[in-house]
Structure 1
Amino acid sequence: MASPSGEDAGFILHILTIGFHHKHGSQLEFCFPALAPGQRPDSGYLPDEWKNLPGLALPDGAHNYEEDNVYFVLPSLIKKERSVFCVSCYRQIDSSQLVAKTDDVTRSSVQKAVVVVSKVPIFGAIRERLSQAAQSYFEMRDFSRIDVLQETFSDLRRSFSKGSVMGQMYMGLSVKDLLLRYRQKLLVLFKLLMLERRVMFFMNPASDLTNTLVTLVSMFPNILEDGLDRCASIINSKYNVKNLAGTDFVSVEKDADSDASVDDCSDLLGQQQQQSQGGQGQRQQQPGQGEQAAGAEDAQADEANAMAGAAGGAGAKLQEALSGASSLFSSVKTNFLAKVGPQAGGPGAGEMPTDDLQSPFITDDYGFPLPLFAESALFLPYTALQQIDILDDPNVRACLIGANNSVFKDNRQKVDALIGSDQGDFTLQERALAKQLKLTGADEVFMQLLINKIIPSGNDGAAHDSEGSDDWLRSQFRMYLLSALLAAKSGESEDWQDFNASFIRALQKTYHFKVWSAHDHRGLASMENPQHPCHGQSAIGMKFNQLLTGTEQGRKVTNAVQSTGRVIEDTGKAFGGAIFNARSAMSGFFTGLQSKAASRFSGGEAVPGAEEAGQAGGEADAVDLK
């Protein structure tokens, strides 16, 4: 039932306290305003829709931390298909410090959470203010002081007015930190969410878990502002897998060769896709460490041959290589996308009437936000153990959930991907999905350029939209998203290879793409050429450029070219690691390159730039000139 104030009275709906009882577990102790007419704030009443709130507010493992916070989502009590957004700041103190100790306090420590429920996902902004209020509440050592909570509620409601909320949506959500943590795999995660699969993140503490998920979602345009209204609703949707009949509306592709899961697919995900005019993909790896090692050696040999060819042609292409990386972003202009009209018979169209493909959200001129979390596609940044049935619910079409109870991890076979706290903890359950998410050479260049922009800066005082900032990074992923959507809508072409053709085909089957592509979007009218932001760029060429600019001998070569204004001539070819007929600077450079490559394979020093450009690919990205 509605609270006395109603959901239209302001963005902040309720403030609550949750306490841990030694017999009953986590339970509601106070709620203001009350959740139903006639209920007292301290009645402990919870409607069925919010029965999991206590377990969400005091997450598993809360007793291991003196203080922490967690974000979670609940269905609205007013509009059942809508969602509300919650921030919990929990603390524990020694019970002997309490001024007013009640009879139910029987343990040496007291655990409580102060929770704020909001109509909009301003998680970081609420957490910052609520954390201070919760600290003051605990420092009083008297939990009967509900007047403090009521004052906090009033202050929060005044703080988040209609005019100020939009400017606080992204507070505390650092894409830069996420990129430094997951590096190349961040693009894998971004593409994974585009494919509408079942994804679970597992990590501790709860604050890191939930902040990671909200930050990841914030990389999609307008999602926080307008695209999460339905992210907690489970409905019997005609777009669910069980209702698809013969229509392959959602990507549920399975590997026909083997039913075995593919754990820790980092090697497969990160290996550079072979670049060829025919658009042929790499050989798929088979389970087993020995065969994975053989695949890595094959990839190393292929890249070594390509690098040797690059080295042999350095005399003719050096100048281009030296300037390529620095000028790449400046050459990608806002008109890089194509104006693509609706194609009734084109790829990804025609399975359902256009009238059935209306976005549930208010969209901008580019069709954003995408309905990634609608029609029983859930976004739950924290999931309590009581909600584990979600993994078996046939009405859950897709999900992005966070968990930190080991029981969830034991059920990993029920999700498509299990993600940990860094790029090394990455598990996929299907070989077909790993193939779809495999990064191409253009993808690797795109990510490496982003990494290069943020690592040297460290300038927190820079403008919010400057290169390397969070806003700038989000704009780059927005550019990537638009180009992928338009490439999928325009029909199959060679440009698909830049994104991975298997990924584009899977994207065409998703609900959000079908909704997006079923309509014209005015913002695309003046855009041209729906290509990858790094179309035509080679990961090998980028590594070669890094070797030229990232080593002492390479810098000598660079300086020589810059001083003479011409490409170095008489550069020989590399066979078996030997460099013939080169000038002294080039000879020293390639000799150093050879020794570093050899050291790489013997477990010594890594080739400069190989780690950054190939984190997702493991040893397959090492450079060998032998």
Structure 2
Amino acid sequence: MSIINEPVLNIIVVGFHHKKGCQVEHCYPELVPGRPTELPPAWRHLPALALPDGSHNYLSDTIFFNLPGLTEPDHTVYGISCFRQIPVEQVAQKTEDMTRSSVQKSVCVVCRAPLFGRLAVKMELVVRAWFLQADFSQTKLLEDAYKHLNSCPVQIDQTLEGLSVMRLIDNWRHKALLLFKLLLLRRKVLMYGSPAGPLSTALLTLVSLLPRCLEHGLTKAANVVLSRPLSPIILDEEKDTIDSGHILNNDEPYVNGSTQSEELTPKETGNMLEEKDRVSRQSFDETILSDVVDRQDLGDQGREKCHSIGEKYKTQKIVTEAQQSPTMARDMSVDGLYNLTRQIDQTECGLPFPLFEDGYLCLPYLSLQYLDLLSDSAVQGFVVGASNVLFKQKRQLFDVLVELNEMRIETSDLMLRRQLALGTEDLRFADHVVRHGATQGDEWIREQFSSYLIYLLRTSLLPEGSREMDSYNAQFMSAFKATPAYQQWLKTTNNGDIEAFANLMPVHPFSGQLSVADMKLKFAHTMSTTEGGRKVSAAVASTGRAVATTSRAVGGALSHARGALSGWWSALTAPAAEPCTATDPATDARDDDDNKKQLPAATDPDPPDKSIEDAASNVGKIQVV
């Protein structure tokens, strides 16, 4: 187990000045000798990261971010900023620049390892004690905290502490797999939400699903040689009115930022950022398509073949019957998937996957000063978090917008939608994780995604056009294999010559015959992830309310009809039930034959919206008895 000694590089205090904006007030140890309030040029925008946009709306928050290293420019360092805000009346030693109704400060630690969750817990306690002193000129407590943190060696596996993938799966459900596959394509992804703390935590939690990536795969996640410098810092005269989203009013109210429901509205704070967000979202939706494509595109899409055209599949290595994996369809046990890959050394498989290299950035939080970074020619792609509405309005800078607060994924790239469409096997895997994740825990969920990636990499070594690739979506596999990260992985593993792969079947771990449960699962996924599906769901819900209202006047007949309608809808949208493993083989054979005749092929993973027209027509044919 790898041990990290002296993980903390610096501890920095950032305050908010009513005229100068965010500024460094103390740094230990000093980065610029003899000037404890100055930062080197590479970190000149650190104050804006430590005090994020809109932080004045919250009493406290904890923000994570990445920066390029100073002594080793090719390596990334990691920042944890703990923000607090108290009324000025509670400050014992006031200074002349405290002219506002509250005092806002952040204590930021910069460390050499991504110990985000572990250090955040300790720093929150330190910052709370420092604020209770009510004298910000006394920094001995912070210096003692720096020495204490460096006196305790930590293990590399402690980097996953505080990043709950259970919460991620509970929020995004089946779409968590879609986000996971989106990362592998190295596209330009903007994750937008507020406040900045939960935003940066959610982004890092998503990255932690990639095996060994958070521990060893972010060393170059913030390193890129820009073709031009970033925009200069705003002049002091301009900061008199606004500074990175902070509205400089003297009587600014504040609330506790521990929950998003306590966020102040624009009317209560005088802050117009939320109002601008609402207006920009309306104009944004008019110009960029959401989860659904129009009917004309659907018609063209339905006539296309999803599988690649290539030479006839030939196995690279002969696999005996004893080496083949057991049944891996929808009756997968809780530990079944992990048991198939637990003997495989992830390091031997080339993991962590070399994703965040060669100009592909991972930045959990970005302030407005970094807006020019996203358009630089040296940046090949990114996954970044932002809470400022101006990032959303620059939609030409990114390929995908992930709305964290609304749990929505938007893109105008039709080809990307086709690449990310989840087929039957992918939906089975996602449903397996959703059903068991809440009871099995974070480690179990990460093991499932690790096994999924191992199977995906094993299947990618098959010749082009192999039908086994269709289970992962043939268009996704083609795009994935064309990425620089995949090419680098081939070089690292000598074109996939991995001994552990010899006994691993190149298939999707959830391959198997189609069933009615699969159709229900795909229909439920369509209803929850597409614009058309949401409209149908809303129509059914409004119909149920109308029937309920009418039933009071007509009597029990319509109430019975409403129950039948609700029961029909619940049966369609309910998650797939656990199948019974002890069944009659003859009955299973007859069911499989019927399914082959009635159900579409599983090898053509069309986008989820493809079935929305059939779903809408079926709703119109309901007969209430």
> Aligned residue for 1:181?
171
Taking the aligned partners of 2:503 and 2:11, their CA distance within structure 1 comes to 47
User: Do the aligned partners of 2:521 and 2:573 also contact (CA within 8 Å) in 1?
Assistant: no
Tell me the secondary structure at the aligned position of residue 570 of structure 2.
coil
TM-score, normalised via structure 2 length: 0.68
Taking the aligned partners of 1:185 and 1:80, their CA distance within structure 2 comes to 36
Give the number of aligned pairs. Answer: 463
> Aligned residue for 2:25?
29
Taking the aligned partners of 1:174 and 1:9, their CA distance within structure 2 comes to 25
Tell me the secondary structure at the aligned position of residue 15 of structure 2.
strand
Taking the aligned partners of 2:521 and 2:214, their CA distance within structure 1 comes to 38
Alignment partner of 2:197 out of 207, 231, 236 = 207
Tell me the secondary structure at the aligned position of residue 503 of structure 2.
coil
Structure 2: stretches of 5+ with no match in the other structure = 228-285, 304-327, 524-560, 578-606
Please state how far the C-alpha of 1:90 moved relative to its aligned partner: 0.3
Alignment partner of 1:393 out of 351, 376, 395 = 376
> Aligned residue for 2:289?
263
Taking the aligned partners of 1:539 and 1:596, their CA distance within structure 2 comes to 28
Taking the aligned partners of 1:545 and 1:47, their CA distance within structure 2 comes to 54
Please state how far the C-alpha of 1:329 moved relative to its aligned partner: 5.4
Please state how far the C-alpha of 1:194 moved relative to its aligned partner: 0.3
Specify the code of the residue in structure 2 equivalent to 1:39. Answer: G
Alignment partner of 2:8 out of 3, 7, 12 = 12
Check 1:295–1:125 CA distance in 2 against 1; reply closer, same or farther (3 A cut): same
Specify the code of the residue in structure 2 equivalent to 1:499. Answer: Y
Alignment of 1:433-582 (within 5 A): 433-455=416-438, 457=439, 468-491=440-463, 492-518=465-491, 519-520=493-494, 522=498, 524-536=500-512, 538=514, 540-542=516-518
Please state how far the C-alpha of 1:103 moved relative to its aligned partner: 1.1
Taking the aligned partners of 2:106 and 2:337, their CA distance within structure 1 comes to 48
Alignment partner of 1:234 out of 216, 224, 235 = 224
Tell me the secondary structure at the aligned position of residue 89 of structure 2.
helix
Does residue 447 of structure 2 align to residue 421 of structure 1?
A: no
Check 1:56–1:502 CA distance in 2 against 1; reply closer, same or farther (3 A cut): same
Does residue 184 of structure 2 align to residue 194 of structure 1?
A: yes
Taking the aligned partners of 2:50 and 2:488, their CA distance within structure 1 comes to 35
Check 1:537–1:445 CA distance in 2 against 1; reply closer, same or farther (3 A cut): farther
Tell me the secondary structure at the aligned position of residue 607 of structure 1.
helix
Alignment partner of 1:375 out of 358, 361, 364 = 358
Specify the code of the residue in structure 2 equivalent to 1:529. Answer: M
User: Do the aligned partners of 2:13 and 2:24 also contact (CA within 8 Å) in 1?
Assistant: yes
User: Do the aligned partners of 2:329 and 2:509 also contact (CA within 8 Å) in 1?
Assistant: no
Tell me the secondary structure at the aligned position of residue 504 of structure 1.
helix
Check 1:286–1:411 CA distance in 2 against 1; reply closer, same or farther (3 A cut): farther
Task: Tell which deviates more after alignment, 118-127 or 227-236.
Answer: 227-236
Taking the aligned partners of 1:229 and 1:157, their CA distance within structure 2 comes to 20
Q: Provide Cα deviations, 1:317-353, integer angstroms capped at 9, x if missing partner.
A: xxxxxx97444556547557999xxxxxxxxxxxxxx
Check 1:596–1:506 CA distance in 2 against 1; reply closer, same or farther (3 A cut): farther
Check 1:479–1:613 CA distance in 2 against 1; reply closer, same or farther (3 A cut): same
Does residue 115 of structure 2 align to residue 122 of structure 1?
A: yes
> Aligned residue for 2:585?
none
Specify the code of the residue in structure 2 equivalent to 1:193. Answer: L
Check 1:108–1:333 CA distance in 2 against 1; reply closer, same or farther (3 A cut): closer
Check 1:109–1:599 CA distance in 2 against 1; reply closer, same or farther (3 A cut): same
> Aligned residue for 2:573?
610
Structure 1: stretches of 5+ with no match in the other structure = 1-7, 238-259, 269-283, 299-322, 340-361, 458-467, 548-594
Taking the aligned partners of 1:498 and 1:174, their CA distance within structure 2 comes to 29
Specify the code of the residue in structure 2 equivalent to 1:484. Answer: L
> Aligned residue for 1:98?
91
Specify the code of the residue in structure 2 equivalent to 1:23. Answer: K
Specify the code of the residue in structure 1 equivalent to 2:20. Answer: H
Specify the code of the residue in structure 1 equivalent to 2:289. Answer: D
TM-score, normalised via structure 1 length: 0.68
Please state how far the C-alpha of 1:527 moved relative to its aligned partner: 2.8
Tell me the secondary structure at the aligned position of residue 143 of structure 1.
coil
Task: Tell which deviates more after alignment, 103-112 or 418-427.
Answer: 418-427
Specify the code of the residue in structure 2 equivalent to 1:367. Answer: G
Taking the aligned partners of 1:487 and 1:210, their CA distance within structure 2 comes to 33
User: Do the aligned partners of 2:81 and 2:109 also contact (CA within 8 Å) in 1?
Assistant: yes
Check 1:606–1:295 CA distance in 2 against 1; reply closer, same or farther (3 A cut): farther
Taking the aligned partners of 2:384 and 2:521, their CA distance within structure 1 comes to 40
Does residue 251 of structure 2 align to residue 225 of structure 1?
A: no
Tell me the secondary structure at the aligned position of residue 380 of structure 1.
strand
Taking the aligned partners of 1:448 and 1:423, their CA distance within structure 2 comes to 21
Alignment partner of 1:67 out of 39, 60, 85 = 60
Check 1:437–1:148 CA distance in 2 against 1; reply closer, same or farther (3 A cut): same
Tell me the secondary structure at the aligned position of residue 512 of structure 2.
coil
Alignment partner of 2:75 out of 69, 79, 82 = 82
Does residue 172 of structure 2 align to residue 146 of structure 1?
A: no
> Aligned residue for 1:165?
155
User: Do the aligned partners of 1:445 and 1:539 also contact (CA within 8 Å) in 2?
Assistant: no
Tell me the secondary structure at the aligned position of residue 606 of structure 1.
helix
> Aligned residue for 2:127?
134
